Structure 1
Amino acid sequence: MSRSRVVVVGAGFAGFQAARTLSRNLRDKAEVILLNPTDYFLYLPLLPQVAAGILEPRRVTVSLPGALPRVRLVLGQATEVDLAGRQVHYEGPEGDAGRLEYDRLVLAVGSVNKLLPVPGITEHAHGFRGLPEALYLRDHLTRQMELSASADSAEERTARRTFVVVGAGYTGTEVAAQGALFTRALADRQRVGHIGVRPRWILVDIADRVLPELDRRLSDTADRVLRERGVEVRTNTSVKEATATGALLDDGDDIATRTLVWCVGVRPDPFVSEVGLPVERGRLVVDSRLTVPGHPEVFACGDAAAVPDVTRPGEYTPMTAQHASRQGRTAGHNVAASLGRGVPQAYVHHDLGFAVDLGGVKAAANPLGVALSGPIAGAVTRGYHLAAMPGNRVRVAADWLLDAVLPRQAVQLGLVRSGSVPLDTASPELARVPGVPFKES
């Protein structure tokens, strides 16, 4: 008798946990296949530390074959789901086409950069959803600081040392906080021909405060740390237009800069809207057991799924890593139950709190609803990340220790160029390579 086949599409927080849960629960009862463009799981919350030179890139990646030894990894980008034929079509990393048959399907394709109709944004801004974007930003910040030191005019020096971050949510706040420390360290090292122009960081958001989704106390803590660090926080403000040499704000301020980091949020991967199933604001409609109505063989979780929030009737769970991880486990459990292992369960989760790393020993956190700030919050935040990571804990802790006692290595690696990380892409985890097919959103 042939074994059942379960295909999991996507290896983000939801997909990784779904595949791991399935491999543990089903063992020899079914074959678990994981379709993903890369061979690693990316721990997104620590990505700003990669851009700031604190962590090496491999520290925030966990090998999928190593972490999921009983799961068959297939490298590729899903292009189509044939619901009638129960097949997933995909494009491999070298442009080859393939297909996977399934008895059960878990869609966990995650999210991509959220775009707004702002002139020039897609051409001149860069997002922050994947490792290539973080590596590009790290090189870019270093390059701008170095080019500013040799610039002929004061205007160019100032522009190259001006960095604009749009979006004051988790990612934008951490990028601005970590980036300010990083560029300050770079400026302090430019002893020869020191130009005396301090780096300028500007954080812009249309909301009335930073971290608007968090408790006011945490928001105030983050705002205070940013301002103490010299970051200009512009609330109730948005970008009206972006160019190669500046950003025009809707308050009329035209900021000369060569750096525009787009962190306004995320949107579900556009792939889910092409599957042919009902969606809610771009997310697949599922029931509380993460099953697609009318298709008991199809499950969805994470940012790609509109999961009912049973703790807040009438609402959907927010698109956070905390929910995605737990939804992945629930989806894995329920898929196994549908194959005779266990009893299906509804997804229920109360937020355990949030943590925002602000660089150095500063952080803002509210574990279990207890608001913390300063070094205590910093220790809690890093402890949380170490506990949440499915691997590389010792290496991450070692990098943190080395960063505390040694100066950061600030060199351009030149691995990712600007054109390799377009903002308008359905694949932020992949850098565009000349001559290789690239799927646009």
Structure 2
Amino acid sequence: MARPRIVVVGAGFAGLTALRRLEQRIPEGKAEIVLVAPNDYMLYQPLLPQVASGLLTPQSIAVSLHRQLHRTHIIPGIAVGLDTDRNTVVVRKISGEYSYERYDRLILAPGSVTRTFNIPGLIEHARGNKNLAEAVYLRDHVLAQLELANASDDPAERDERCTFIVVGGGYTGVETAASLELLCEAACKQYPKLRPHIQWHVVDIAPRLMPELGEHLGQKTMELLRQRGIEVSLGVSVREVTEDKVTLTDDRVLPCRTLIWTAGTAPSPLIAATGLPTERGKLSVGADLSVPGHPEIFGIGDSAAVPDLSKGEDGALCPPTAQHASTQGPVAADNVIASLLGRSTKHYYYRDRGLLVDLSGRDAVARPFGVEFNGTAALALTRAYHLYSLPSGPARMRVAANWLIQALLGCDVSRLGFLNRSVETLVDVEEYSRYLKPEQAKERVGLAVGG
């Protein structure tokens, strides 16, 4: 009898943990395990703001898949379509060629992309911080603005280049603003005349900053940001973006050449391209993570509408966090194995352990299991958690070494030369147009495999 073929799409927290469980639980030679992913590493996204500020090197949070996986065949590319009639995934490899991956069981964990809105100028002028390319680019861009401002004799240009706006008062936005503000503070040692001109703003349409933290810690976070000179504006969003100014919905017009967009994420376009049922734009799955009507397909991570059984209410979905993704992966793997063996599957149930926010420097806030911390204790807890959560020993050692070097020697503010045009706009690297409609996927598969 032919070995079953298990295909996993995506190597983020959800995909990697699923693959590791599959390798642990399936005896060698009993199944073929295939991964479709564009990169040969798992990105530890929670520490991206520290890469953007230069506190961590990019390699520190790029966890090698080859060190983690030993029996998985990796196809370097992106799943762009799905033919459910022929159980085949359409893959566009990094070479631009297409391959067609047959599956007996499929785990979809493609992650998420930047969520954008129809705001004039946003796509053309905003920057993101969702992958390594954007983080490294963002650091070079911020330092370049300071260099250019220091070299300029035009007060208007100096104000434009020294004003930085972060849209999004969630985890990523707050940490990005805090980390990059410290980078600017370090750069002021080289450009002391810029210090009075540098302004950082955090803007969010929500009435509270980081509501997941609770009212008290959310307020504490806002106070810590404001103490460092970061202005926080709530109940406000962006109306228009141009090359040198940003108009807010409260009619303020700020001179600005750096808008950092962290206002949430959207499911991978692959989900809409599959033609499978969706809920709130995400892949519909049951409590056992399988897709209704397609028991051979499982969905996990940011792009899956996973029922949150811990809430005890109908319609509640698990939030798109690393905690949930990394615990959904093993459950999906176990259910894949159970379905192949004809056994019953189990439901996904997980209670959130809380949120930890590293504000760089000596500031942090944390709320593990409902207990609130701030200051040094929160910073120690937050960094210990990250070291624990990083899935490889080399990654832990690199991150710890980077933190130690920064503590002892300070921050390096030199640009790295990554100001290239390939990641200049907000969604360049996400290439929305590459995904196929269901009928296009079926046509491609039909031409490739016949029938």
When normalised by structure 2's length, the TM-score is 0.92
Deviation at 1:415, TM superposition (A): 2.7
Please name the residue that 1:347 is paired with: 348
Structure 2 residue 407 is the aligned partner of structure 1 residue 404? yes
1:132 and 1:438 map into 2 onto residues whose CA distance is 20
User: In structure 1, which of residues 417, 422, 437 is the aligned counterpart of residue 420 of structure 2?
Assistant: 417
Q: Which moved more, 1:376-385 or 1:341-350?
A: 341-350
Letter in 2 for 1:423: L
Please name the residue that 1:97 is paired with: 98
Asked if the contact 1:132/1:416 (under 8 Å) is kept, the reply is: no
| Structure 1 portions without partners, runs of 5+ | none
Asked if the contact 1:302/1:319 (under 8 Å) is kept, the reply is: yes
Please name the residue that 1:162 is paired with: 163
2:352 and 2:296 map into 1 onto residues whose CA distance is 29
Asked if the contact 2:128/2:260 (under 8 Å) is kept, the reply is: yes
2:18 and 2:210 map into 1 onto residues whose CA distance is 29
Structure 2 residue 5 is the aligned partner of structure 1 residue 2? no
**How many residues of Structure 1 are paired with residues of Structure 2 in the alignment?**
431
Asked if the contact 1:113/1:128 (under 8 Å) is kept, the reply is: no
- Cα deviation, 1:375-422, whole Å, max 9, x if unaligned, reads 100000000001111021011101000000112222222235244253
- Cα deviation, 1:21-54, whole Å, max 9, x if unaligned, reads 1111113221111100111100000000000010
Asked if the contact 1:158/1:197 (under 8 Å) is kept, the reply is: no
Compared with structure 1, are the counterparts of its residues 440 and 198 closer, same or farther at alpha carbon in structure 2 (3 Å cutoff)? farther
1:400 and 1:89 map into 2 onto residues whose CA distance is 42
Please name the residue that 2:122 is paired with: 121
2:154 and 2:27 map into 1 onto residues whose CA distance is 65
Matches within 5 A, 1:208-223: 208-223=207-222
**Identity across the alignment (%):** 44
- Cα deviation, 1:141-190, whole Å, max 9, x if unaligned, reads 11111111101211111211110000110000001111111111101223
What SS is found at the alignment partner of 2:323?
A: helix
- Cα deviation, 1:85-110, whole Å, max 9, x if unaligned, reads 11111111111111111110000001
Structure 2 residue 73 is the aligned partner of structure 1 residue 78? no
What SS is found at the alignment partner of 1:318?
A: coil
Compared with structure 1, are the counterparts of its residues 341 and 65 closer, same or farther at alpha carbon in structure 2 (3 Å cutoff)? farther
1:185 and 1:24 map into 2 onto residues whose CA distance is 46
Deviation at 1:212, TM superposition (A): 2.2
Compared with structure 1, are the counterparts of its residues 134 and 225 closer, same or farther at alpha carbon in structure 2 (3 Å cutoff)? same
Q: Which moved more, 1:199-208 or 1:336-345?
A: 336-345
Matches within 5 A, 1:279-294: 279-294=278-293
Please name the residue that 2:363 is paired with: 362
Compared with structure 1, are the counterparts of its residues 5 and 15 closer, same or farther at alpha carbon in structure 2 (3 Å cutoff)? same
Asked if the contact 2:273/2:435 (under 8 Å) is kept, the reply is: no
Compared with structure 1, are the counterparts of its residues 343 and 399 closer, same or farther at alpha carbon in structure 2 (3 Å cutoff)? farther
2:197 and 2:406 map into 1 onto residues whose CA distance is 22
Deviation at 1:296, TM superposition (A): 1.0
Deviation at 1:195, TM superposition (A): 4.6
Deviation at 1:316, TM superposition (A): 1.1
Matches within 5 A, 1:103-114: 103-114=104-115
Please name the residue that 1:141 is paired with: 142
Compared with structure 1, are the counterparts of its residues 341 and 57 closer, same or farther at alpha carbon in structure 2 (3 Å cutoff)? farther
Matches within 5 A, 1:368-383: 368-383=369-384
Deviation at 1:343, TM superposition (A): 5.3
Structure 2 residue 328 is the aligned partner of structure 1 residue 327? yes
Bigger helix share:
2
1:89 and 1:38 map into 2 onto residues whose CA distance is 17
1:32 and 1:24 map into 2 onto residues whose CA distance is 12
Deviation at 1:196, TM superposition (A): 4.9
What SS is found at the alignment partner of 1:274?
A: helix
Q: Point out 4+ residue stretches in structure 1 off by more than 6 angstroms.
A: none
What SS is found at the alignment partner of 2:324?
A: helix
Letter in 2 for 1:439: R
What SS is found at the alignment partner of 1:311?
A: helix
Structure 2 residue 224 is the aligned partner of structure 1 residue 225? yes
Asked if the contact 2:8/2:108 (under 8 Å) is kept, the reply is: yes
2:374 and 2:273 map into 1 onto residues whose CA distance is 44
Please name the residue that 2:434 is paired with: 439
